[in-house]
Structure 1
Amino acid sequence: MTTNYSVKKTPIIRIVLFLSLICLYVLFGYYLERTEYFKLISLYAALFFVSYKIIQLNSGTNSPLFIVSLLARFVFIMAIPNLSQDFYRFIWDGRMIFAGYNPYLHTPDSFLTNGIFPIPDAQILYNKMGPLSASHFTNYPPVSQFCYYLAAVVSNHSILGSVIVMRVLIIAADFGTFFFGRKLLKNLNLPVSYIYWYILNPFIIIELTGNLHFEGVMICFLVMSLYLLQNLKWQWAAVAFSLSVATKLIPLIFLPLIFKHLNLKKGFLFCALVGLINIALFLPFISSEFITNYAGTVGLWFRNFEFNASIFNIAKGIGYAFTGYNPIKIVGPIMALLVLVYIAYTTYKAPLKDLKSLIFNMLLIISVYYFTTTTVHPWYISLLVILSVFSGYKYPLVWSATLMLSYLAYASADNEENLWIIGLEYIFVYGAFIYEVILKKQIGRTPMETLEPYTDRS
């Protein structure tokens, strides 16, 4: 009788969970300011719990999960992002291109401080994007710029209209990731339900769909590239990888691993093709001034900016104790150099003959990079989350659950970080990382080795 009652009760529980999830996303998208820290953390914790239960109760049925993930994204369709102001710069760049300007050659400051309003809503966009963005040249690659331009083409005089266009593009990219991710999981003989740890993850929905970060587009092209590599179509994989790099530069960090995975000749041609395609995509914007501006802006991430760092904060604290000032201009580049050394060492030592090994080492390299870098904005970790889907490691999921703690910095007027809260975040992350990557390996039970095989390939 208990079993029958449970069977009858389960559909009701599912409906309640589905409705609860949608209501929580409505509250998050339309009734939350990022300065309301307690409310933010409470809603996020509730979303994570409900999402987990939904995935747990529907692990054998994909259709309800797909519908819920779609509805959860469309909840945000009319919402102005509430945790990030970066989208104002996206709109600015797109409208600059639409007006005939090269967005890489002008800062918003260079116009507004001289009383020039080159695009519609220039003053609003300038005020909302913040002084940091307004005073620097753009660093967004050409595929991202094309998305911003599309928003300007469709809605050049409405900020909400531009937001909707960009949101639709990101939602489309997420379901491209869903489509190719399921196929890749099948090819790797893994449960296709693993894709929902990405597609239904509240962190992914909030940071990408909600806050309009184009990591979602970058990830779509990356997963497509991995799928094509698995199917031995390395030329098309190079095209997809090129588009991923041209959306966000960070996938460039994986090129040495892919080079070794494909062996010398194919690896060289893959890298050459990626280089040529990206040069072609940047070509409409290229000038000597562009190269100077772009290199300088990218360099700022290693020398000037810092947020939610872990190992860097420790190194900074030690440096500050000895020198009396923030040593970011020295420590930042040193950390970047150490990561390059680690990439070279891993590429040389790691066996990369199969795609599972390639994906695991991609996850390891990007993890080490974010462990040591000066700046870890929450949406950066979306790349780790998607790689965890195909590797079986769960510490990126732990990180996605704890990342909202970093938003405490915005609860104060001066946006000052609370290092105790940052420390709490990384206690969970490093604990999960050490357990999965180091301790389990010592007893011969890594997640890759203990993943259950998937036999239903329908």
Structure 2
Amino acid sequence: MACLLFYLSFAYNLTRTDYTKLITLYMALFFLFYKLVQILKHNIWALTWISFVFRAIFILAIPNLSQDFYRFIWDGRMIVEGFNPYLHTVESFMSKDQFPVAQAQELYTGMGLLNASHYTNYPPINQLCFVFAGLFAGKSILGSAIVMRLLIISADFGTLYFGKKLLKKLHIPAYNIFWYVLNPFIIIELTGNLHFEGVMIFFLIWSLYLLYSGKWQWAAIVLALSVSVKLIPLIFLPLFFQWFMKRDVISTERRDEKPYDDEQVTNPLAPRNDVLKRMIRLIGFYAIVLITIIVLFAPFYSSEFINNYAQTVGLWFQNFEFNASIYYVAREIGYSFRGYNEIAIIGKVTPIIVILFVLIITFFRKNKTIIELITAMLLALSFYYFTTTTVHPWYVATLLILSVFTKYKFPLIWSFVIILSYLAYINLNKADKSENLWVIGLEYIIVYGVFLWEVFIKKEQAQISSKRCIL
């Protein structure tokens, strides 16, 4: 009952600038969530129904922590009206007093000038979700929000379905999936604030399940759908190399269980030493992903589209700054001897560093089993978020779902302390409008502390303990 009241207050009686109430409600909800999973971990049906009820509370709510959904509605209505959303900024219409969609002025005011002045960067499957909102609620902002919310809720339960099945096959407790599904961070940021990471995650987990079941062609198609919601899964593509090229016929994860699907002795994936067949399947996997993405983008293709899309994606590396960690340290070092526009320099170097890191763990870390593959994904994406210039709260959702299948819990801790990022602009109404770096520092001290403990210190202690047992 307490959770219901807290979620009702969060959905319908909270403003973003009411920082005390925001933090208090979130901390209470997170504590109750943790206790619910602990108490009901053996009652999957109860946890499932509770997850649904908590989401249902937000059905009629207008997002109160993010204004991105106004742009979602705009893009969807633009497509319904026959416009290519990648070729026009909102500002290009409004500056000429042109109103191409219903409620144009309200949408323009809601999304803000920053969002309105840039070309859209949302991939085609994401745009399809916006189109549904435009078709079924073309003249109502609340109606559009409801349509999109229903899509996101459906995706969450798709993640629950395939995530639970994959956990069971990996001998990991099925209730682990509720560290994601029932997490107030996920409910508030995805269902509440209408961020489509939830849809991208659904396709990603479905793809991993298909891959583990030996259906790699379908896994490639579904992975492409994930990329076509949010581009972030592109960072995972190199990591599939060892899965296709070096994986044993019988996975050590399942030696004690009856073989099934791709773990059978007559593994359809590839004979142990048949390098050529493995290489063909690897290339085929990448080709299917690439072709599917191209087909999905094709209806929007034009030379202007390519230029506009590249320009918009580049903004995330060289223009926007929010809730960063290592980047802010590098920026301060740069300021000490250059003193200006550090993001233009660091933003060009960071993607190269991330690519090198991904290639290193692709070829020099074991990624042959599904758990090793997911762990590599978790580490690669964590490195990207640790070094990037912008980390919005909802970005952590992907880390959280990946962690469910691993031994690492730092994303769960991050999903708790990420609420501090909303305090970063506590100075907004003061003379100094910059982010509060003390707040950001506290967030990352906690996250890095848990990360270093789990990845390095805890592992080293386990190795020392193992050696002592042998002796």
Distance 1:221 1:34, change over 3 A: same
Match of 2:198 in 1: 216
Match of 1:329 in 2: 344
Structure 1 residue 298 corresponds to structure 2 residue 313: yes
CA distance in 2, matches of 1:120, 1:260: 50
Report the Cα offset of residue 442 of structure 1: 1.2
Match of 2:358 in 1: 343
Structure 1 residue 162 corresponds to structure 2 residue 144: yes
Check whether the contact 1:259–1:266 (CA below 8 A) recurs between aligned residues.
no
Tell me the percent identity: 57
> Which runs of 5 or more residues in structure 1 are unaligned?
1-18, 447-458
Match of 1:427 in 2: 445
Counterpart selection for 2:332 from 294, 317, 329 = 317
Runs of 4 or more off by more than 2 Å in structure 1?
A: 409-416, 443-446
Counterpart selection for 1:97 from 32, 54, 79 = 79
Counterpart selection for 2:153 from 171, 175, 194 = 171
Counterpart selection for 1:307 from 304, 322, 326 = 322
Match of 2:174 in 1: 192
Check whether the contact 1:259–1:270 (CA below 8 A) recurs between aligned residues.
no
Check whether the contact 1:95–1:149 (CA below 8 A) recurs between aligned residues.
yes
How do 1:114-263 residues align onto structure 2 when only pairs under 5 Å count?
Answer: 114-263=96-245
Report the Cα offset of residue 197 of structure 1: 0.2
Counterpart selection for 1:406 from 421, 427, 433 = 421
Report the Cα offset of residue 377 of structure 1: 0.2
SS at 1:309 equivalent: coil
Counterpart selection for 1:281 from 280, 287, 296 = 296
Distance 1:412 1:30, change over 3 A: farther
Check whether the contact 1:34–1:410 (CA below 8 A) recurs between aligned residues.
no
Counterpart selection for 1:443 from 461, 467, 470 = 461
CA distance in 2, matches of 1:184, 1:360: 15
Check whether the contact 1:177–1:219 (CA below 8 A) recurs between aligned residues.
yes
Match of 2:370 in 1: 355
What is the identity, as a one-letter code, of the residue corresponding to 1:318? I
SS at 2:462 equivalent: coil
SS at 1:104 equivalent: helix
Report the Cα offset of residue 33 of structure 1: 0.5
Q: Which moved more, 1:333-342 or 1:255-264?
A: 255-264
CA distance in 2, matches of 1:258, 1:182: 22
Q: Deviations over 1:135-169 (max 9, x none)?
A: 00000000000000000000000000000000000
Q: Deviations over 1:314-350 (max 9, x none)?
A: 0001101111213000011211111111111111101
CA distance in 1, matches of 2:225, 2:185: 24
TM-score, normalised via structure 2 length? 0.90
CA distance in 2, matches of 1:26, 1:156: 27
Match of 1:8 in 2: none
Aligned residues: 428
Match of 1:13 in 2: none
Q: Deviations over 1:108-131 (max 9, x none)?
A: 000000010000000010011011
Report the Cα offset of residue 413 of structure 1: 3.3
CA distance in 2, matches of 1:333, 1:226: 31
CA distance in 2, matches of 1:380, 1:299: 17
Report the Cα offset of residue 410 of structure 1: 4.1
Q: Deviations over 1:297-317 (max 9, x none)?
A: 001100000100000000001
Check whether the contact 1:91–1:148 (CA below 8 A) recurs between aligned residues.
yes
Report the Cα offset of residue 416 of structure 1: 3.0
Report the Cα offset of residue 260 of structure 1: 2.9
Q: Deviations over 1:66-113 (max 9, x none)?
A: 111000001000000000000000000000000000000000000000
SS at 1:444 equivalent: helix
CA distance in 2, matches of 1:275, 1:260: 19
User: Alpha carbon RMSD of aligned pairs, Å?
Assistant: 1.1
SS at 2:321 equivalent: coil
Counterpart selection for 1:377 from 377, 381, 392 = 392
Report the Cα offset of residue 259 of structure 1: 3.0
Match of 1:387 in 2: 402
Match of 1:33 in 2: 15
Match of 1:449 in 2: none
CA distance in 2, matches of 1:275, 1:115: 40
CA distance in 2, matches of 1:306, 1:413: 15
TM-score, normalised via structure 1 length? 0.92
CA distance in 2, matches of 1:252, 1:275: 10
Report the Cα offset of residue 444 of structure 1: 3.0
Match of 1:396 in 2: 411
Q: Deviations over 1:4-38 (max 9, x none)?
A: xxxxxxxxxxxxxxx11111100111110011111
Check whether the contact 1:319–1:326 (CA below 8 A) recurs between aligned residues.
no
Check whether the contact 2:102–2:138 (CA below 8 A) recurs between aligned residues.
yes
CA distance in 2, matches of 1:284, 1:204: 32
SS at 1:307 equivalent: coil
CA distance in 1, matches of 2:428, 2:175: 43
CA distance in 2, matches of 1:388, 1:215: 15
CA distance in 2, matches of 1:136, 1:63: 44
Check whether the contact 1:24–1:43 (CA below 8 A) recurs between aligned residues.
yes
CA distance in 2, matches of 1:161, 1:410: 30
